[in-house]
Structure 1
Amino acid sequence: MKRRDLLDKATRSATLRRMRTEQRHRDAVARHAMLDASVKETEASIQTEHGRAKACIHSGCYSKADYARALARQAESLDALAMLQAELDSLVVQQSTAGDEIADAGRARQRAEKKREKIVNFQRNFALAAKNAVERSEIDEILEVKSYVR
């Protein structure tokens, strides 16, 4: 392959790599935002269930049936609270993983950008070398004509 073909292939490869890393970064940021919203929603649900569990306990006279119903409602609320807490813990772990993915994608994007800069510099140097070669050949022709005229 010629140098120009290799350079074009490297440019296309770097462009595709940069596009993939940017897409990965956007996906990770969107996933992190979605998980953040889920965490907030779950925290609100926990607060609601906690309020319900507290509301089941009231001071006053109970019949055994009322007391049993209040304890059953409180047990249901506490079960729901435990499930929501487990869900919250899971979401926090997933959110942490998404944060790590964002960082990884950011580093990959920086590496892709550095490679793109290297390729651009190489293209610039290649064009300059071609221009210098043309100028050198023109100078050689002028010197040849001068030596011929002498």
Structure 2
Amino acid sequence: MKLSHYDDEGRAHMVDVGAKPATRREARARAFVELSPAALAALPTNPKGNPLEVARFAGIQAAKQTASLIPMCHPLALSFIDVEARIVEGGVEIGATAATVAGTGVEMEAMTAASIAALTVYDMTKALDKGIRIREVELVSKSGGKSGEWRRS
């Protein structure tokens, strides 16, 4: 199997997607922020503001900046980005969905949104808990393009 971001000499390059048809593409990613019970209990009264809302906004903004952060990632006009952050047992579950109509997918935008939202929860709560862990940043599903549908089992 050949990785498309490398040429015949092994140098990294941006893949030319100009000949690919523009189709609707969507991706969903998730992340988990593990917090202590004390930090979880303090989330609604954080003096910096509501960490979950700040994380949502940070994830949305990050998705729009993905091509500036990932060197071989194409700049995309996103038609939709949504980030959810909710308190669950043991921490905060982050979900991010990105969509576009383009010749390349939005997996990196969804993964970037989930990652930055998780890092923002960390930033907003680090004074309460030095043992915070960010876990399971992963692609959940993608649709569109040549490879079609994919879902994590």
Larger Rg: 1 or 2?
1
Bigger helix share: 1
Bigger strand share: 2
Give the TM interval when normalised to the shorter protein.
under 0.3
